[in-house]
Structure 1
Amino acid sequence: MRRYNQGDLCPHCGLIIMMPTDLSNQCLGCGKEINQHQESDEDE
């Protein structure tokens, strides 16, 4: 799966992700979580 970062478009609503995803994994436009399942995959 793709990891979304600040400046990318939200995969749910299409708005630009304003906050760094390591600080806030929630879209400010739609309120849905971004990169939900990525953290467990990266730690392995």
Structure 2
Amino acid sequence: MIGRIKPGRKVNLSIRTKEPEYKLGTRAVDRYGRSWRYMHGVNK
């Protein structure tokens, strides 16, 4: 269910953790400035 990341930024989802490999703690954001955790409702 984590295939909704918009194209435009290199986001390599690791197969094991299903998390963007480029993320740095909770500071990782997509090109729109929203964190992937916010996008996927992890820290709502």
TM-score, shorter chain, exceeding 0.5: no
TM-score normalised to structure 1 length: 0.32
Q: Which gives a bigger RCO, structure 1 or 2 (Cα 8 Å, sep 6+)?
A: 1
TM-score normalised to structure 2 length: 0.32
